[in-house]
Chains A and B, each alone.
Chain A
Amino acid sequence: MTSVELAVASDAELAEVALTRAEYIHLVESLGREPNRLELGIVGALWSEHCSYKTSKPLLGTLPTKGPRVLQGPGENAGAVDIGNGLACVFKIESHNHPSAIEPYQGAATGVGGILRDIFTMGARPIALLDSLRFGPLDEPHQRHLFDGVVAGIGGYGNCIGVPTVGGELYFDESYRTNCLVNAMCVGVVEHGKLTRATASGPGNLVLLVGADTGRDGIHGASFASVVLDADSAARRPAVQVGNPFLEKCLMEACLELAGDPRVIAMQDLGAAGLCGSTAELAHRGGCGIEVDVARASRRETGMTPYEVMLSESQERMLIVAKPGDVRSLQEVFERWDLHSDVVAVILPEQRFVVRDGAEQVCDLPLDLLVDGAPPRGAPGPRPDRPKSAVASRGPAPAWTSDEALLALMGSPNLGSRSSVYRRYDHQVGDATVILPGGDAALVRVDGTTLGLALATDGNSRYTALDAHQGAMIAVCEAARNVVATGARPAAVTNCLNFANPEHADVWWDLHDAIEGIGDACRALDIPVVSGNVSLYNDTGGTGIDPTVVIGMVGVIDDVARRCTAGFRDEGDLVALVGPVAAELDGSEYQRLAGGVNAGTPPGLDIDLERRVHAFVLEAIEAGLLHSAHDCAEGGLAVAIAESCLLGDIGAWVGIDEIGDGEGLINGAAGILFGESQSRFVISFAREALVRLHELAARHSVPFRGLGSVGGERVGVTRCIDVSLADVRRVHGGALIERE
């Protein structure tokens, strides 16, 4: 009998479960028989890109995941690092792109709900949320609709559950017109001894399904997230789940009550591929098997098939593994929170995945084949020969004065004030937010300690579009810079890799290069990667997004009282630039606004200099020498200075020698003012600190130059820029406001 003869499933059936013919044949050969429809659907879900990481897994293995602080690397629901005082920080970032493109409010809300569960499943109390968002041009009504819906959804969930949304980023770019990106990061804290794992053990132990009843919502969500969107995608709305943050709040409190409780052998939330994915992963991690009886799961509606129960992605559900004798007492904990629970499964000694519907056995698959058996996908073709345009094909140079250019940048959707977004998020609940949204990184205090966690997400896709490797390295460095600017030392990274269709060679190679870039930067900066998520197929009708690497970074500061902020502080303070002065305009926001193009090569990166710059800034902050430190990022030096003025509500006047006698922007001053060279901070300090800072800079071999001083109510660069702080504030504040 040949494989082809075995393959009786129709193309339509395979399309429904998102399996290729080759994968199907591999399945049939491995099983030695034809799977039934339920088995096929279960395999389709677990072999989806979303669950199996079949494309990215071979590449992700190259990332550095170890370090003295690491308590839990990739493989669990989230990563965990030691932060001192016997505490662990648990964190992860995850995408919810496909659902948000179809139904922005619920897509974003359940994205927040899902990442929260990943954190409290590990016994950690969530203390902060961040969101990294990407949309198409904001002046298009559909993009405004998506943007408003996503922001409302994030707020709707986070505000209700009472976890502060403290930061993130937001970009608008043509490349996201048909595929918006919604990446949510959650950070929690737990005592080492209460860190809970999702590893089942003990044959005969029982599995409780707690929380929401199971409905028909979100069936095929995992498969849906693993294919390109098309014109019919709107009809997939039933594949989008609906969130209930109130239920999740109760579930969270009950689960946190049980963190560290010896009765809880393992805890696993239900996310992608629902009951099917969670039970399989739980058993697989523990090297055992599991038998699920769908008849025991409480339903939201009648007439659901075993297939629907197993694949439903109804939200706010959790699995608890316990000894039979402990089940009743655990159920009582949940009942106190008015949460219903059912015993739905039993742990098996052998590695099988069995599903019953009451007396009838409806699925029996080898667990290893189900969880680990998806044939890995390698490169779909050789690296395409893509000549990089050595010289940016700039549009006609705009007839801007440098004043106009600064105001245009400060008022652009990508650089303007985000306050109209974060004022819709509760960013202070928990009494812990020390640095509020709007600066470089958010800083949250850890309850009962002097510790602070600096949190940032970063990823500029204009750079990764030009050079995935370089862009990914820059994303790591910029996230680290944001953390360092507060005085915190980078501790670990979580990453979200958002790419188009990896079956195209150029996309696959970009993914390959980006992962290499993350690894190279993390190794050089000595920051481990402890968790992450990959979102592929961000592609609609053949139009894919630019490669987008989002780095979530956590840094630790031992005493929050010693933090540094980004705003200028005192009249008469000196302003200095740490890092190089170059005129790199390729890939910059200036280039976007000036000509609407993204061309050339991204800014250069000397990773060793980057490392030294971080060390300098951290030491200067620890020594109490700085009054402000701000990462110099999109928009370049002039924008960084203007931002520090806005944050401190005070002006500044600086001079930059390279500008010479500055005749507007045509002679290259634009590159100095608005170029986005890396490894730079704008700092301010009292005059008395100057000598010590010079010495410190020399010791770390970092370029350091005085630029000017803080004071007044104007933002000025000698011979180039002279605008009032009020004008900067006006354009900056109005950047995201809908114009009539």
Chain B
Amino acid sequence: MRFGIAVFPGTWSDRDCKHAVELAGHTSVMLWHKDRDLHGVDCVILPGGFSYGDYLRAGAVARFAPLMESVAEFAGAGGLVWGICNGFQILCEAHLLPGALTRNSSLEFRCAASWLRVETSDTAFTAGCERGSVLQVPVSHGEGRYVADQETLDMLEREQRVAFRYVRRDGSAVEGDTPNGSMHDIAGIVSERRNVLGMMPHPERACEPLLGSSDGMQLFRSVATSVSGNGVMPVAAVS
């Protein structure tokens, strides 16, 4: 299968995502922010970085990029869109996901190992993971504190749209002791149709034992399996 990797000025996880996609045995094409053509890719990754410098709010400018019009259209048609770190911020700014990502409660950037509990395997991104399993995936961000109003949080929980929650290494709840102070310890959520995933941690940095963890590879494999039809295909409406 083929991933499309968005490149905004200031994006820096594009090369790492390409590396992870290749490790998973797939191909990728870079999608330039000024273009609208998605080159028929099966899944669009919005990678980490500081798009347009993020001098306003993280992702606030990127959402207006020409590329994002095509991405919104693609997501609307059920296409798989995967926002990682800055990509998650952009998806929230673009209203493709609810809520917002604000400054870490420590008021400091955090780059550290984190452990994520898979809260649902009912998405193309997590179909290959066991629900309740724990993935070691690093975080690296200054604005990753997920916030939303109570109604939205209730809805996300009710519809099992929290994809990942920060937990301890053994899977037990951290109860607020997260890298960023996220509400409900949320690390990642999916859209209503479950085809858009936003997550702050960097799975592309956790695809090799040499780098400390290969747990992130499970997500890349899940996407590929879902797309090729061998696994769960949660969005039948891709037309």
The range of chain A's interface size is 20 to 34
Query: Which residue in chain A gives the minimum CB-CB distance to B111?
Result: A426
**Interface flag for B42 (CB, 8 Å):** no
- CB neighbours (8 Å) of B12 from chain A are 161-162, 249, 429
A242-280: CB near B (< 8 Å → 1, else 0) gives 001111011000000000000000000000000000000
The stretch among A22-30, A306-314, A353-361, A430-438 that forms the contact with chain B is A430-438
**Which chain B residues border A247 with CB–CB below 8 Å?**
53
Identify the closest chain B residue to A247 (Cβ): B53
Q: What are the residues of chain A within 8 A of B132 when measuring CB–CB?
A: none
Contact, CB under 8 Å: B205 / A428:
yes
When the two chains form the complex, which single residue of A246, A427, A431 contacts B52, counting CB atoms closer than 8 Å? A246
> Given contacts A427-B111, A428-B111, are A162 and B210 in contact (CB under 8 A)?
no
Instruction: Tell me the bound Cα distance from A247 to B111 in angstroms.
Output: 23
Residues in chain A near residue B26, CB distance under 8 A: none
- Please report which residues of chain A, range 146-176, place their CB below 8 angstroms from some CB of chain B when the two chains form the complex: 155, 159-162
Contacts of A338 in B (CB 8 A): 9
Complex: A246 Cα to B212 Cα, angstroms: 29
Q: Which of A160, A426, A431 has most chain B Cβ within 10 Å?
A: A431
Contact yes or no, B111 A423, CB < 8 A? yes
- With beta carbons under 8 angstroms apart, the residue of B15, B110, B212 that contacts A424 is B110
Q: Which of B9, B16, B111 contacts A430 (CB 8 A)?
A: B16
Contact of A424 with B109 at beta-carbon distance under 8 Å, contacts A159-B142, A434-B210 already known: yes
Q: State the CA gap A250–B9 with chains docked (Å).
A: 6
- Tell me the minimal C-beta distance from A333 to chain B in angstroms: 14
The CB with the most chain A CB atoms within 10 A, among B54, B55, B111, is that of: B111
Q: Complex formed: what's the CA distance from A337 to B12 in Å?
A: 14
For B19, the chain A residues whose CB sits under 8 A away are 431, 447
Which residues of the partner chain A approach B20 to less than 8 Å between Cβ atoms?
431
CB distance from A119 to the nearest CB of B (A): 16
A260 to chain B, nearest CB (A): 18
Option from B9, B52, B53, B138 in Cβ contact (under 8 Å) with A428: B138
Task: Please report the number of residue pairs spanning A and B whose Cβ atoms sit closer than 8 angstroms.
Answer: 81
The docked-state distance in angstroms from the alpha carbon of A252 to that of B186 is 35
| A246 and B50 form a contact (CB under 8 A) | yes
A248-B134 Cα distance, complex, nearest whole Å: 38
Query: Given the interface contacts A159-B109, A162-B49, A249-B12, does A428 sit within 8 Å of B210 by beta carbon?
Result: no
Confirm or deny: A560 has a beta carbon within 8 angstroms of a beta carbon on chain B: yes
A161-B110 Cα distance, complex, nearest whole Å? 16
Contact B205 A244 (CB under 8 A): no
Q: How many residues of B contact A (CB 8 A)?
A: 31
Contacts of B54 in A (CB 8 A): 160, 246
- In the complex, which residue of chain B has the Cβ closest to the Cβ of A159? B109
Closest to A337 in B: B9
Q: Is B237 an interface residue (CB 8 A)?
A: no
Within 8 A of A (CB), among B133-148: 138, 140, 142
Q: Quick check: is A463 within 8 A (CB to CB) of the other chain?
A: no
B142 to A, closest residue via Cβ: A159
Residues of A within 8 A of B53 (CB): 160, 244-247
In the bound complex, residues from chain A placing their C-beta under 8 Å from that of B236 are none
Task: Tell whether B77 is near chain A: CB-to-CB under 8 Å.
Answer: no
- Tell me, rounded to whole Å, the shortest Cβ–Cβ distance linking A567 to chain B: 13
Known: A246-B50, A246-B52, A424-B109. A160 touches B10 (CB 8 A): yes
Chain A contacts for B112, CB-based, 8 A: 423
Cα of A445 to Cα of B9 in the assembled complex, Å: 25
In the complex, what distance in Å separates the CA atom of A16 from the CA atom of B204? 52
> Which B32-89 residues have a C-beta within 8 angstroms of A?
48-50, 52-55
Contacts of B210 in A (CB 8 A): 434, 445, 560-561
Rounded to whole angstroms, the CA-CA distance of A431 and B210 in the bound complex is 10
Are B55 and A431 in contact (CB-based, < 8 A)? no
- Checking A249, A426, A434, A447 against B10 with a beta-carbon cut-off of 8 angstroms, the contacting residue is A249
Choose among A160, A424, A431 the residue that contacts B111 (Cβ–Cβ < 8 A).
A424
A509: CB under 8 A from chain B? no
A159 to B112, CA, bound (A): 13
Bound-complex Cα distance A249 to B53 (A): 9
Chain B proximity of A591: nearest CB distance (Å): 34
Q: Which residues of A contact B108 (CB under 8 A)?
A: 423-424
How far, in Å, is B101 (CB) from chain A's closest CB?
Answer: 16
Does A135 count as interface, using CB distance less than 8 angstroms? Answer: no
CA distance A431 to B10 in the complex (A): 17
The verdict on B13 contacting chain A, using a C-beta distance below 8 Å, is: yes
Question: Given the complex, which residues of B lie within 8 Å of A161, measured CB to CB?
Answer: 12
Asked whether A425 is an interface residue with its Cβ less than 8 Å from the other chain, the reply is yes
- The minimal Cβ–Cβ distance linking A461 to chain B, given in whole angstroms, is 28
Given A245-B53, A424-B108, A426-B111, residue A431 in contact with residue B9 (CB < 8 A) = no
Q: A426 and B109: CB pair below 8 A?
A: yes
Q: Of the candidates A159, A246, A433, which one forms a contact with B55 in the assembled complex, judged by CB atoms under 8 Å apart? A: A246
Interface centre among B13, B15, B52, B109 (most CB of A within 10 A): B109
Write out the residue numbers on chain B whose beta carbons fall within 8 Å of the beta carbon of A560.
210
Q: Which of B111, B138, B207 contacts A425 (CB 8 A)?
A: B111
Q: Is the beta-carbon distance between A431 and B211 smaller than 8 angstroms?
A: yes
Partner of A429, one of B16, B110, B208: B16
Q: Please determine whether A433 and B111 come into contact, CB atoms closer than 8 angstroms.
A: no
Given contacts A428-B138, A428-B205, A560-B210, contact A246 B10 (CB under 8 A): yes
A212-245 CB mask vs B (1 if < 8 Å, else 0) is: 0000000000000000000000000000000011
1/0 per residue B105-121: CB within 8 Å of A? 00011111000000000
Known: A159-B140, A430-B15. 11 other contacts (CB 8 A): A160-B54, A162-B49, A162-B50, A245-B50, A246-B52, A428-B111, A428-B138, A428-B140, A431-B19, A431-B211, A560-B210
- Cross-chain pairs A/B with CB under 8 angstroms, 27 sampled: A155-B109, A159-B50, A159-B111, A162-B12, A162-B13, A244-B53, A245-B53, A246-B9, A246-B52, A246-B55, A249-B9, A249-B10, A249-B12, A423-B108, A426-B109, A426-B140, A428-B111, A428-B138, A428-B140, A428-B205, A429-B13, A430-B15, A431-B20, A431-B208, A431-B211, A432-B211, A560-B210
**Which A positions have Cβ atoms within 8 angstroms of B?**
155, 159-162, 244-247, 249-250, 337-338, 422-434, 436, 445, 447, 560-561
